[in-house]
Amino acid sequence: MKYNPAEKLQDYLVFGEFGEVNPSITDSSTFTFLSFDKMQELFDHEIEGCFLYSRHLNPINDFLARALALLENTEAAQVTASGMAAISCALLQILNSGDEIVSSRTIYGGTYALFKNFFPKIGIETKFVNTCNLDSVEKAITNKTKVLYFESISNPLLEVADIAALRRIADAYNLKIVVDNTFSPMLITPSNYGADVVIHSLTKFINGASDCVAGCICSSKDFINSLRNVNSGAVMLLGPTMDSLRAASVLKNMHTLHIRLKQHSKNALIMATELENLGLKTFYPGLKSHPQHDLMESLLNPGFGFGGMLAFDVKNEEVSHQLLTRMQEELVGYFAVSLGFYKTLFSSPGTSTSSEIPKEEQIAMGMSGSLVRMSVGLDNDIYKSVGRVEKCLREMKVI
């Protein structure tokens, strides 16, 4: 099911109090009530255009949340202070002590650590499986399982999830599907294939400036309201509130998301193709050699490419570490974690963003220590960067 988020966002106009083209930045933690009855009503349920307290909601956060709901084709959205806050709040809202998660084993290291080390403290257990193998997903489900969790494009191996097939399993066992779509905003709209809750780390492509940490939860109006409930809402009660100044800034950066994504995708496809041509094992869903290339093509909203993330294996762990600093010296980009920046960013996931995952499990999921992850930047001339990477690889005798 195709969707055009860029077109939806194009028709999303926000007007400030005085008709400003950028809405005013909410500079208040609290809001006046015009009557006692209105106050009571607001504590009971949401009233369109009325605000209570900024941890609950405020106008600028609401403007950003509405843009994110359009992006993800959901009824509503909630912004949070980080991607991890979005993940933890969404799951804590759904789960009770004693419940279980069936999760993809190739997920962001922070999420993995949350499920593996932290959630058991409150009685929530997780079974990690290869979500590309639907049989193993089904086998892991018990009568305690409440949630299927995965990333639409996984970190760092770039496996593509068959969301519709996972939905069929979820329906059979009455599970909620929570999807982290951080690697593929605009490219894939998980709600169109049956995701109940879609999470983003806004820190990455959506904000795109590497100047803040932020997150969001996109879902039905009912679920978003439950997160904000003054008596039982995870966001309201745990309080990971996005600051108003930041919400305004993220909203402005979102205006160029479609243009940035097209350039990230264009450059990443060239970089991946050239690396593969040099004989390196390259992971990029836009490559014909990628095991889920056809699946990815069937999921993509047309026009934004296959995304800006790729990984390649240089076969030697020590060499992979040296390569990171060499590529930085050659001005390919920055040796840094994170993604979605205008400059190319690269890191070795085994020792950084996925280091929370034990070594033997990394090996089991096909993640070698010599893997290099790259978030390809917006370079005007990507061939120049390709040449520089090639120079480093030759120098280090990888090719």
**Three-state DSSP class for 334?**
strand
Counting residues that bind ligand PLP (by CB under 6 A) gives: 15
To ligand PLP, the closest distance from the beta carbon of 398 in angstroms equals 26
List of E strands, the chain = 76-80, 100-104, 125-129, 145-151, 176-180, 197-201, 215-219, 281-283, 309-313, 333-335, 344-347, 371-375
Q: Would you count residue 204 as binding ligand PLP (CB under 6 A)? A: yes
Choosing from 58, 61, 88, 155, the residue that interacts with ligand PLP (CB under 6 A) is 155
To ligand PLP, the closest distance from the beta carbon of 84 in angstroms equals 4
> Distance between CA atoms of 205 and 338, rounded to whole angstroms?
10
Pick the closer one to ligand PLP by CB: 200 or 258.
200
Angle, CA 185 vertex, CA 159 and CA 340 arms, to 5°: 85
Q: Which residue is nearest to ligand PLP (CB)?
A: 83
> Distance between CA atoms of 91 and 271, rounded to whole angstroms?
36
Q: Would you count residue 151 as binding ligand PLP (CB under 6 A)? A: yes
To ligand PLP, the closest distance from the beta carbon of 352 in angstroms equals 11
> Distance between CA atoms of 132 and 19, rounded to whole angstroms?
49
Amino acid (1-letter code) at residue 162:
D
- Find the binding residues for ligand PLP in span 75-114 (CB under 6 A): 82-84, 108, 110-111
Q: Would you count residue 213 as binding ligand PLP (CB under 6 A)? A: yes
List of E strands, 93-180 = 100-104, 125-129, 145-151, 176-180
Choose the binding region for ligand PLP from 52-60, 200-208, 290-298, 310-318 (rule: CB under 6 A).
200-208
Pick the closer one to ligand PLP by CB: 111 or 344.
111
- Find the binding residues for ligand PLP in span 168-187 (CB under 6 A): 180, 182
Amino acid (1-letter code) at residue 389:
V
Closest by CA position to 186, among listed 118, 247, 255:
255
To ligand PLP, the closest distance from the beta carbon of 291 in angstroms equals 20
Pick the closer one to ligand PLP by CB: 180 or 276.
180
Could you tell me how many residues make up the chain? 399
Q: Would you count residue 201 as binding ligand PLP (CB under 6 A)? A: yes
Name the residues that contact ligand PLP, by CB under 6 A.
82-84, 108, 110-111, 151, 155, 180, 182, 201, 203-204, 213, 215
